[in-house]
């Protein structure tokens, strides 16, 4: 990115809304943005390159095969120069070309060549906007992480009334500045401790009691918290996963080991997320040697493990915001709300692990978040997506 983080390449395509681009450039420059303009041939029918050169203070690029332009700042260099490429107005034609990956003029070539964030401000007749082809193209671009700003709704130049108006210059300036100068990470300066994976409760030197937890959700939560600027402690049971970089990893085996690590780290944490599938019971006595097979039946005596999440929630000094997980096979809401209250949690994330394709070992999940007086349903999505939503929801309760 540039030193100023405010280099904007404005691509103007053919549309009556092109007349707004002179004001758009002026407003962007008022915000200390450097602006260069690229115009399609159709755009020049609505506003002249001379006008755009006057307001931007820079030559306007409009030809892919202009030797003079290539000698100055070639189109590939122009694509690299930008911190943000904004296409405004974005006609149905340019949107279709972008979706198809067509590069038959300077603007569409730059759109394929730039590593910068790309945003479009659709502007067209309301019927053209509503056409299934246009909607499919917009969906394709959204899936490629192109930002779609607008369109607005109202009376159009053709006399129609509906959705298709380009957003006003001041609205586009606000969106552009928000993209170029993002807010500080939501969890900057916060410490988050997360438990993940299963625990193993030894029976003898070779056997143990455990469960099917893969640790994927807990590790995804750690990645999400890191992405939002937190310092992360990950207390992990035995899993076949690589820990996210930049977090402090504490590998444990048993529930007692995990409890010890949690109670050490929780008082110095702003948030504690208990995502591990902790064994409720452990063997009363662990055999020193391998237990030999004797008879058709075997009786084990089990004793209750400490309740890690409840003990963290019960801290009276330096208590973190405490979040639990409830993996249930029936009456999910009832059991989750019961745990929320009985364990003294601030929030609980519940899922139905009896459903095929979600929960243990799966890459996807669906959750319902419960607080004391509210809840939020999160539909089926990848665990990475869900983790980011969950951590953002937690951050929203802290701020």
The answer to whether residue 364 sits within a structural domain is yes
Residue 292 lies in a domain: no
Same domain, 160 and 257: no
Shared domain for 232 and 376, answered yes or no, is yes
Residue 245 pLDDT: 76
From CA 271, how far away is CA 195, in angstroms rounded? 11
Residue 2: per-residue pLDDT: 39
The CATH number covering residue 233 comes to 3.40.50.10300
How much is the pLDDT for 361? Answer: 62
- Pair 333, 198 in one domain: yes
Domain count, the chain: 2
Boundary (domain end) residue, out of 157, 180, 203: 180
Q: Which of 223, 228, 151 lies closest to 194, judged by CA?
A: 223
Backbone dihedral angles phi then psi of residue 362, each to the nearest 5 degrees: -80, 160
For residues 67 and 398, the model is more confident at 398
Does residue 391 form part of some domain? yes
What does the alpha-carbon distance between residue 233 and residue 226 come to, in Å, rounded to a whole number?
10
Element containing residue 352 per DSSP (H, E): strand 347-352
| pLDDT > 70: percent of the chain | 92
Q: Are 107 and 184 in contact (CB under 8 A)?
A: no
pLDDT of residue 3: 39
| Range name among 204-213, 273-282, 294-303, 375-384 with the lowest pLDDT average | 375-384
pLDDT of residue 156: 66
- Name the more confident of 179 and 124: 124
Worst-scoring range by mean pLDDT, 24-33, 40-49, 123-132, 161-170? Answer: 161-170
pLDDT at residue 185 in the model: 79
Q: How confident is the model at residue 68 (pLDDT cuts 50, 70, 90)?
A: low
Tell me the average pLDDT across 67-75. Answer: 55
Higher pLDDT, 240 or 76: 240
CB proximity list for 22: less than 8 A, separation 6 or greater: 47, 51, 52, 55
* 128, part of any domain: yes
Whether the predicted pLDDT of 206 surpasses 80: yes
Give bridge partners of residue 147 from the DSSP assignment: 119
- For the chain, give the mean pLDDT: 88
Cα 15 from Cα 156, distance rounded (Å): 12
Say what the pLDDT of residue 391 is.
93
Cis peptide before 264 (omega within 30 of 0): no
Residue 158 falls in the annotated catalytic set? yes
Using alpha carbons, list the distances in angstroms from residue 291 to 114, 203, 207, 279, 286: 65, 8, 9, 21, 10
Range of lowest pLDDT (180-189, 199-208, 293-302, 304-313) = 180-189
Please give the residue that has the higher pLDDT: either 205 or 382. 205
**Are 108 and 219 members of one domain?**
no
Residues 230 and 99 in one domain: no
Residue 343 falls inside a structural domain = yes
Regarding whether 312 and 200 lie in a shared domain, the answer is yes
Look at residue 72 and tell me if it is in a domain.
yes
Res 360 pLDDT > 70: no
CB 101 within 8 A of CB 112: yes
Annotated catalytic residue, options 21, 33, 158, 349: 158
- Answer yes or no: do 218 and 118 share one domain: no
Each residue's pLDDT tens digit, 225-281:
988 889 999 999 999 988 887 899 999 999 999 999 999 999 999 999 999 999 999
Q: What is the predicted pLDDT for the residue at 244?
A: 83
The answer on 84 and 206 residing in a single domain is no
Instruction: State residue 356's pLDDT score.
Output: 62
CA 160, CA 140: separation in Å to the nearest integer?
A: 27
Do 248 and 370 fall into the same domain? Answer: yes
Which structural domain range is residue 392 located in?
Answer: 191-284+299-398
Are 76 and 197 found together in one domain? no
Domain boundary among the residues 180, 211, 232 is at 180
Q: Are 143 and 176 within one domain?
A: yes
Indicate the pLDDT class of residue 161, thresholds 50, 70 and 90. confident
Span 268-297, average pLDDT: 94
**What is the tens place of the pLDDT at every residue in 314-345?**
999 899 999 999 887 778 888 899 999 999 99
The answer on 143 and 205 residing in a single domain is no
- Which of 160, 180, 200 corresponds to the end of one domain? 180
What is the predicted pLDDT for the residue at 279?
A: 95
With respect to residue 1, please indicate whether it lies within any of the assigned structural domains.
no
Q: What percent of the chain has pLDDT over 90?
A: 61
């Amino acid at each position: 990115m540039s030193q100023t983080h405010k280099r904007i390449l404005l691509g103007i395509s053919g549309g009556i809304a092109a007349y707004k681009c002179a004001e758009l450039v002026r407003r962007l420059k008022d915000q200390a943005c450097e602006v260069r303009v690229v115009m399609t041939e159709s755009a020049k029918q609505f506003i002249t390159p001379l006008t755009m050169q006057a307001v931007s203070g820079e030559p306007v690029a409009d030809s892919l095969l202009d030797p003079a332009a290539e000698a100055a700042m070639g189109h590939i260099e122009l694509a690299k120069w930008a911190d943000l490429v904004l296409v405004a107005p974005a006609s149905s034609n340019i949107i279709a070309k972008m979706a198809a990956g067509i590069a038959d003029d300077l603007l569409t070539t730059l759109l394929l060549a730039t590593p910068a964030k790309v945003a479009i401000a659709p502007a067209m007749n309301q019927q053209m906007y509503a056409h299934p082809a246009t909607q499919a193209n917009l969906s394709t671009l959204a899936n490629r992480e192109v930002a779609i700003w607008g369109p607005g709704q109202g009376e159009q130049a053709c006399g129609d009334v509906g959705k298709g108006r380009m957003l006003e210059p001041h609205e586009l300036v606000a969106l552009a500045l928000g993209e170029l100068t993002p807010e500080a990470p939501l969890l900057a300066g916060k410490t988050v401790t997360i438990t993940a994976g299963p625990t193993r409760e030894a029976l003898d030197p070779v056997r143990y009691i455990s469960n099917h937890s893969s640790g994927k959700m807990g590790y995804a939560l750690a990645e999400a918290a890191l992405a939002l600027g937190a310092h992360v402690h990950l207390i992990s049971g035995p899993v076949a996963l690589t820990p996210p970089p930049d977090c402090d990893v504490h590998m444990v085996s048993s529930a007692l080991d995990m409890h010890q690590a949690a109670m050490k780290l929780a008082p110095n944490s702003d948030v504690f997320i208990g995502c591990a599938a902790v064994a409720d019971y452990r063997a009363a006595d662990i055999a020193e040697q391998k237990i030999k097979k004797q008879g058709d039946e075997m009786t084990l005596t089990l004793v209750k493990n400490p309740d890690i999440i409840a003990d963290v929630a019960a801290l009276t000094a330096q208590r973190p915001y405490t979040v639990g997980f409830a993996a249930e096979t029936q009456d999910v809401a009832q059991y989750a709300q019961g745990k929320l209250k009985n364990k003294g949690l601030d929030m609980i994330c519940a899922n139905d692990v009896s459903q095929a394709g979600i929960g243990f070992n799966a890459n996807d999940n669906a959750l319902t978040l419960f607080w004391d007086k509210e809840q939020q349903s999160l539909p089926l999505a990848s665990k990475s997506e869900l983790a980011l939503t969950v951590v953002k929801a937690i951050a929203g309760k802290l701020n």
